[in-house]
Structures are given as C-alpha cells and as structure tokens.
Amino acid sequence: MSLKINDNVTWVGKIDWELRHFHGEELSTHRGSSYNSYLVRGKEKTVLIDTVWKPFAEEFVANLKKEIDLNEIDCIVANHGEVDHSGSLKALLREIPGTPVYCSKAGVKSLKGQYHEDWNFQPVKTGDKLDLGSGQELLFIEAKMLHWPDSMFCYLTGDNILFPNDAFGQHYASELMYNDLVDQCELFEEAIKYYANILTPFSKLVTAKIKEVVGLGVPVDMICPSHGIIWRDNPMQIVEKYQQWADAYQENQVTIAYDTMWSGTRHAAEAIAEGIKEANSTIDVKLFNIGKADKNDVVTEIFKSKGIIVGSPTHNKRILDPVAALVELLKGLRLQDKKGAAFGCYGWSGESVQLLNESLQESGIELINEEGLKVLWNPDKEAREECARFGREIGVALA
C-alpha cells in the first residue's frame, strides 16, 4: 500500500494493526500503530524520509519497488535512529548501497551502534538544507532529546510540510490516514497517551523546540509524523496541544492508583475518594487498581491530574510490585506541578506509606500530607472515617 499525499509526496510506510506493545513490553498500544515513511520527489532529487520497523523490512522494500525504481532514490533521511524507523535501512541499502543517509551527528552514532554498518552518512545540523531542485528544499532541524539525542525534524519548502518524526505522533493504526477523517476522541486519546508516556520528561525541550520552529515563520500546511495519522486539517492544532501539555498540564482531576491484597487498601481508596468528593464536588476522581489496569493508561490519567494518590499495603516490608512499577515510571516522567499523597494498609511492620512518600518526593510531587495515611488491618468504620478525612484534606488542597 502507498498513499499519494500530494503531487510530490507519497506515504510508503506500514500500518501495524497487530501491535499491542511497544518498546518491548513497556508501552501498551491498544489501537496498533504505523511506521510512516515518506517518498519526496523533487524536480531534481528524490528523497526517502525514514523507513519502517525491521519485521516489515522485506515487505517495505517490495512495496517501495512498486512505487519507484529504487535506483531513482538519491538519498535517505533518517530523522531518528530508533529501530521502528531505521529498521529497514539495512534491507534497503543492500539494494542501493552507497546511497547517502542524512541524519544528525548523534544519528550517525546511534545508527552505527545498532547496525554496525559504515553507510554513506551525511551528518546535518539545524539550518542545513538539501536542494531538491527548482527552488524546493528540505530544511533540517535538530530536535535533540525529542526524544533521543539523534532526533531530527525536516521541513519541505514549497509543499510546506513538517516531518517531525516521533513528535505529534500517535500509536494509532488507521486506514483513514488523515486527522480530519478519523474519530476525534480516539485520535486525541492516543495523542495524549503518546505525549504522557513518551515525551513528558522532555516537556521543557518541547516548549523550546516549538518556539524555535514557530519562530522560523514558515507556513505549515501539513504535519507528517512517523506514527499514526497525518495532520492536514488545521495542523497547528496538535502543536497548540503540545504547548499546553508541555506546560505543567492538568485538568480538574485526581487519580487514585493502588493495589490491594485482601481489599483493605481498596476500601481505604474508596473512602478517600468519598472524602475528596465531599470537600471538592467538581473534581473528577478516578480510581485504578494498578494491578489490574493498564499502567500506560493510568500514566495518561495521572498526566491529566492535579493530584496523584498512591496506595499499597505493606508486603515483605515493601510495596506491591505493580505499585512499585508505577512509582518507578513516575520518577522518570518528571511531571510538573503535581500534588500527591500516599496511603496503605498494614498488619504489623507498615513500611509501605513511608516508601511511597519517598517515591513521590523523588518524582518531584509535592506531598499534601507528609505523613500519609497508614491503616491497620482492614479499615473499620472509624478507620474509614479517617480515610474520608484524609480525602477531604486532599480535596481542599486540590481545590
């Protein structure tokens, strides 16, 4: 399959409807994904921007051959070395050895590091241009740490298309291909999940990069990311969303994420939720048993929240595995301007709440109550009232 985007640009990627996990098993992708590769035919030069993930390399090359005589490809742009976009380079360059590969300086390192090949690398930096003929150019913009050191955008003059690689993408398989044709709820659900789970640690760089690209003053008629749909209807809407998401984003929401062994911590979570609602009737309180819920979906809800309340019973003087995995994830995300609190049941030693408090603080989350709430055994009426009081304190702090 290929898709003609306009007279000069053709999508030659792969829609992966089966994908359910990405980055190994780290990130859930309930709606699949796509690896977008674009063939740009200038008047004098033909350029391929990115490839697809290695399992689809043979299929990719075969499809590309249907679209173009491979020898007519003058150069390849590798905007990013991660294997979902570079994974077919080896198969492609076996067919057209010596073809120049334009990438950032860090891209040379990551591509060499992964493929151990000495391809015809042409390192480029921000401001460098590739002349495609008749005045049309491909302008390179380094996008370091969005989300790898090698990440790069490029911009096609004349057609006014931004190719930002992972930025503005979504793990979202759709044959409809364009933002104006797909279900808007699905699209933005996947776009914010992608941002929350992948780009959150780099929010300050996102803000700076958007400022830099907007500062170029070039028109953007289309944004063609490397995953998911193409933004052609008001493409700047996703840029505006990114500006909001990168700026300590929060909705009027609090997420309670817990795990429980014999329902004691669940009962505590529910009583805390009641207390929050009593004190703050407008806030959206969402509860997740992190042992059962998808952790990346929960991260997305946490990203949208003002407050993060985490609970675990004490088990072997520690916290339960699913909660440990969640708080470990939070440490890396470097969320901005969030408040939090910890709670949990115990029978004798009761270390969990202190451990959770430490994890929340290490994640840069401001504690609403520095002690947290420890509940002995399964909460009785009095303990549930204490949980509700704790919830009311949270509700007031998040008002």
Q: Is 166 in the site for ligand FEO (CB under 6 A)?
A: yes
Helix axes of 321-333 and 295-304: crossing angle, nearest 10 degrees: 50
Q: Is 85 in the site for ligand FEO (CB under 6 A)?
A: yes
- Contact of 18 with 45, CB cutoff 8 Å: no
Q: Which is nearer to ligand FEO, 226 or 305 (CB)?
A: 226
Nearest 5°: CA angle at 50, between 47 and 54?
A: 135
Residue of the chain from 14, 31, 80, 384 that contacts ligand FEO (CB under 6 A): 80
Please, what is the minimum distance in Å from the beta carbon of residue 166 to ligand FEO?
4
Residue among 194, 242, 249, 346 flagged as catalytic? 194
> Is 84 tagged catalytic?
yes
Size of the site for ligand FEO (CB under 6 A): 9
DSSP 49-87: E----GGGHHHHHHHHHHHS-GGG--EEE-S--SHHHHT
Q: Which is nearer to ligand FEO, 85 or 304 (CB)?
A: 85
Please, what is the minimum distance in Å from the beta carbon of residue 114 to ligand FEO?
12
From the list 3-11, 77-85, 180-188, 302-310, the region that binds ligand FEO by CB under 6 A is 77-85
Which tokens hold the place of 390?
A: 């704790």
Alpha helix positions (H), 138-219: 184-194, 203-215
Residue among 18, 23, 233, 362 flagged as catalytic? 23
> Is 194 tagged catalytic?
yes
Q: Is 226 in the site for ligand FEO (CB under 6 A)?
A: yes
DSSP 118: -
d(CA 142, CA 200): 19
d(CA 43, CA 8): 9
Binding to ligand FEO, residues 227-256 (CB under 6 A): 227
- Interacting residues toward ligand FEO by CB under 6 A: 80, 82, 84-85, 147-148, 166, 226-227
Just list the catalytic residues.
Answer: 23, 80, 82, 84, 147, 166, 194, 227
